[in-house]
Structure formats: C-alpha cells, structure tokens
Amino acid sequence: MEPDRPILLWLRRDLRLQDNPALAAAVATGRSVIPVFIRPGKHEIGGASTWWRDQSLAALARDLKAKGSRLILRTGPAEKVLPALAAETAATALAFNQTLEPGQIATDQAVMRVLGAHRVEIIERRGNRLHDPWLVKTKAGGPFKVFTPFWRTLSADYRPPARHNAPKAIHVPKRWPKSEYLADWQVTAKWASGFGEEWTPGEAGAAARLNRLLRTAKDYPAERNRPDHEGTSRLSPHLAWGEISVHEIWRRLDKKLGKDALPFLRQLGWRDFNSHLLYHFPKLPTEPWSAKFARFPFQRDAKGLRAWQRGLTGYPIVDAGMRQLWTTGWMHNRVRMIVASFLVKDQLIDWRKGEAWFRDTLVDADLAQNAANWQWVAGSGADAAPYFRVFNPIGQSRRFDPDGAYIRRWVPELATLDGRAIHAPWEADVTVKGYPAPILDHAEARERALAAYEKIK
C-alpha cells in the first residue's frame, strides 16, 4: 500500500474555502490535506483582532468539518511548528498564500529554508491583493509614492484571475495530528462582549456583506461619508482576515455595475496602495515616511490621550467615533479621519499613539492600512494630506451628520439636544450634565499645529 504523504495547508489571513489559491493547489494534487493555523504567541495581535480571529477560526472549522476535514491548531514560531508537524505527519509539501508584512516575510523565508533542508516541497501562491508590489512600478522603475498614478497603472493592467471554487471534498489523512483547543485560545477582550451583536465573522458573514453591497453599491459615492447612514460595505474586517477574496469582490461588482462600481473598486485600490507602501517601506508603522516629521514637536499628554481614547474630549463627533470603536470594534471611515486629525493636530499627540490604539481596538486592524492611513492624516506619509489640512470637528459634524443622529446614538448624554446645538453644545450656551466641556479650543489648536509645522519645514 502506498504511504500517505499529506500536504500541510498553512492558513493565516486567508480563512476561507472559496477562491483560496493555496487550498485549491493543495486539493488539486489529489493528496490528503491537513489545514493548520499557527498562533505565533498569545499577544501578537490586538484584543479586538483576537476576538475576530477566534470567531473566524470557529467558523472555518465548521466549514471544514462539513467537507469531512478539520482544522489543526498549534502555538509557537512557525519555523519550528511546521517542521515538527511535517515530521509528525510525514507531510512532503507545504501550501500557503503569501503575506507581505515585514515580519511575516522573514518568517516565510525561515520556514522555506528549514523545510527545504528537509526536502519538503513548497507550494506558494499570491496573497489576497490585486497586485504584486515588486511588479507594479513607475516609469522610472521604482515603487509608487502617489496613489493616482498607482491606481491608473493598476486598474489599466488588472484582470481578475480565474476563480478557485471551494472544493466539493478534501482528502483527509489516515491519521490526524493532535490539535490545541480553540476554547483555550478564546480570552475575550474585556470590552468585546458586545461585538457578536454587530458582526458575523467567517466566510458566510463576508458573503452576506458582499451581497448587501451589491444591492446598495450605486448609492456608495453619495452615502459613504455619512456615519449616520449604513452607506459603507463593512467588508474591512472580512478582508483583513481573508474571509473573502478581493478578486471575488471585484468580479461581482464589475459584473453587476460596470463603470458604476469604480468608486468602490478605487477603495480596493487604496488597500493595495497601502500594502505597496508597507512592502517598499517596512518601517512605515514606526517611522514617518517624510523624514522631516521625525523632528515634529509632539506633546506628551497622557490625560489628553486618555480623554480621546474614552470619547470624553467634549467634541461630540470625536467622542461618538471613539465610543463606536470601543463598543463595536469598528469606526466609520470619515470619522476615523476626524478623530485622527483631532489627536495629531489639535492635541499634538504622536500619530503612533493613535495607531497603537486602533491596532488594539479595531476588528479590521491591518498593519499596512492602519499605519499608512495614520501617516496620511498626520501629513507625514506618502501622498499624504497636506499638513495644513486640519479637520474642523464641528464643521465635519454638521456636514456629514447634519441631524446629529450618529452623535445621539453613541453619545446618549446629548440625545435631547436639537440639530443646532448637538454639534457644539457650548456654542449654543448649552451645558449637559455628565458631558465634559471641550478639552481645547479648536481654532487655537489649529494655529498651534501650524506653528509647530513651520518649525520643521
């Protein structure tokens, strides 16, 4: 009898069966497949992401069980866990999809080096992105630093690859290796108890979000900046964990809407642009893209940072956003820009403090998106907003939440105020019991920020 020579399927941020290149490649060999997820350490990701990951793994395990397979869980450095698992199972191949985070690239290289020494075949496939950052280049042959020409090049050349349908069945090994228990991993962040009311992690939840987007995408350009409306896709955490293929989103939208899909497809382009930046500038999460910002006179203000984190700045739209984040693990994109600008420019607090808070509290936390977007708002990043663009939280609130519905939902202390007073109660001479006065004057803070910028110009 021929010995069982299984393939290890190393899953990371690709927790799906549909349109999963590495899974398709493994199944196509006709050999048995052992899906495995490795937790590098107990605290390698933020609390909100940990909640999402564990819920998504539970959903994936159910989906695999329906195919007659199962999910193996292990903890430890991948370059140690995978060789040990290969020896334990007599696996002769490893299939996985690429990731582009700097630390993960180093891990992948270490894994391939160790397994190669043991003559384990490597089956590597492209990750969940539209482009390979080493192939899309400027006319001068370098990486892109500005979004518009990047998007023009990418959108002109991109064609969705052929879909990899979810396998009807997955061959299983004669003997399964031992697995850790997901219940032992699930240490829920103390604030995440209500996340389940807001989200359905897993491939089915992602498909439902895409189907909703297909029904509403024509309204996306007009609605996406309104936090008081359900005008965005909310696909970001599903994309962050690879529960849906970015190519499948493109295919479905393009097929149904044609040119009308472009506003949303452009947002997928921004996602790729940010991963492009991180690949070519691996220090993006920790160092300013623009070197002059290394000299920026940020202030140490623990009290102000805490007020911002807790949604107690006295600026209703800022506080609404921060409370939405704490309660749901997500914040509307327009409000993300407002609260980020408030922290970095009004409060003069280092953008890295905000990036770290978002990384811990967002269910869609993604290293490239988080770092690039914070640097964009701070003015220190590639193709960043000019530093003198300081979001006025009152003007933004009146423009994008005109009736105050978003504020009323997340800042219930202000629920009885009318649409005139709710954006800036102090301007209407209204004092609300239990709600703080503004921690700063925006006009004065703006001038202080511009003066600080002049010092580094």
| Fold classified for 291-456 | DNA Cyclobutane Dipyrimidine Photolyase, subunit A; domain 3 (1.10.579)
Q: What pLDDT is attached to residue 383?
A: 83
The values of phi and psi at residue 378, to 5°, are -70, -20
Tracing tokens 């969940």 back to the chain, one arrives at: 128
Predicted confidence at residue 1, as pLDDT, reads: 37
Distance CA 449, CA 184 (A): 47
Same fold, 7-127 and 291-456: no
pLDDT tens figures, 52-72: 999 999 999 999 999 999 999
Choose among 79, 136, 132: nearest CA to 108. 79
Phi/psi-derived region of residue 406, left when phi > 0, alpha when psi is between -120 and 50, beta in every other case: alpha
How many angstroms separate the CA atoms of 196 and 218, rounded? 29
Residue type (1 letter), 426? W
For 240-259, the pLDDT digits (tens) are 999 999 999 999 999 999 99
User: How does the average pLDDT of the chain come out, rounded?
Assistant: 95
Q: CA–CA separation, 311 vs 319, rounded Å?
A: 4
Look at the domain 7-127 and name its fold: Rossmann fold (3.40.50)
pLDDT at 42 over 70: no
The structure tokens 């808070």 sit at: 357
Helices (H), 234-332: 236-240, 246-257, 262-280, 302-310, 316-328
> CA-to-CA distance for 353 and 146, rounded, in angstroms?
25
Please give the model's pTM, rounded to 2 decimal places: 0.96
Burial label, 335 (beta-carbon count in 10 A; 0-12, 13-18, 19+): buried
Q: How distant, in Å, are the alpha carbons of 33, 39, 44, 346, 364 from that of 359?
A: 33, 18, 11, 21, 9
Per DSSP, the residues of 326-373 read HHHS---HHHHHHHHHIIIIIS---HHHHHHHHHHH-TT--HHHHHHH
Q: What is the CATH number of domain 129-159+202-280?
A: 1.25.40.80
User: What radius of gyration do the chain's Cα atoms show?
Assistant: 23
Alpha-carbon torsion 62, 65, 67, 72, what sign? positive
The structural domains of the chain, with segments of one domain joined by +, span 7-127, 129-159+202-280, 291-456
What does the pLDDT look like over 86-127, one tens digit per residue? 999 999 999 999 999 999 999 999 999 999 999 999 999 999
Mean pLDDT for 294-323 is: 97
Measured in degrees and rounded to the nearest 5, phi and psi for residue 96 equal -160, 160
What value does the mean pLDDT take over residues 370-378?
A: 96
The tokens describing 21, both together, are 């290149």
Burial of 124 (0-12, 13-18, 19+ CB in 10 A): middle
| Cβ atoms 330, 197 nearer than 8 A | no
* Residue 189 binned pLDDT confidence (cut-offs 50, 70, 90): low
pLDDT of residue 3: 62
Q: In what order do the strands lie in the sheet with 72-75?
A: 72-75, 33-39, 7-11, 93-97, 121-125
Helices (H) and strands (E) in the chain, counts: 20, 5
